[in-house]
Structure 1
Amino acid sequence: MHDLLHEIKNCTECLYKLPLGANPVVQASPQSKIAVIGQAPGIAVHQSGIPWDDKSGDNLRNWLGVDKDEFYDENIFALIPMGFCYPGTGKSGDLPPMKICAPLWHAKLFQMMPDIELTLLLGQYAQRYYLGKKARKSLTETVKSFQDYSSEFLALPHPSPRNNIWQSKNPWFKEKVLPFLKSRISEII
Structure 2
Amino acid sequence: MSRLNEILDQARNCRTCESHLEQGCNPVIQAQKSAKLLIIGQAPGLRVHQTSIPWNDPSGDRLRDWLQLDKEQFYDSSQIAIVPMGLCYPGKGKSGDLPPRKECAPQWHKSVLEQLPNVEMTLLIGQYAQNYYLQDKPKTLTETVKEWHRWAPTYLPLPHPSPRNTLWLKKNLWFENEVVPYIRRYVHQQLKN
Q: Counterparts of 1:179 and 1:114 in 2: how far apart (Å)?
A: 25
Determine what percentage of the aligned residue pairs are the same residue.
Answer: 51
What number of residue pairs does the alignment pair up?
A: 188
The residue number in structure 2 matching 1:64 is 67
- Superposition deviation, residue 151 in structure 1: 2.8
Calculate the aligned-residue CA RMSD, in Å: 0.7
The residue number in structure 2 matching 1:185 is 187
Answer yes or no: is 1:55 the counterpart of 2:49: no
Provide the TM-score with structure 2 as the length reference: 0.96
- Superposition deviation, residue 137 in structure 1: 1.2
Q: Counterparts of 2:112 and 2:160 in 1: how far apart (Å)?
A: 22
The residue number in structure 1 matching 2:82 is 79
Q: Residues 3-152 of structure 1: matches in 2 within 5 Å?
A: 3-133=6-136, 135-152=137-154
Runs of at least 5 residues in structure 1 that lack an aligned partner in the other structure: none
Runs of at least 5 residues in structure 2 that lack an aligned partner in the other structure: none
Q: Counterparts of 1:150 and 1:184 in 2: how far apart (Å)?
A: 10
- Superposition deviation, residue 178 in structure 1: 0.7
Structure 2 SS opposite 1:81: coil
Q: Deviations over 1:128-162 (max 9, x none)?
A: 000032x2110000001111110310000011011
Structure 1 SS opposite 2:88: coil
Q: Counterparts of 1:103 and 1:112 in 2: how far apart (Å)?
A: 15
The residue number in structure 2 matching 1:166 is 168
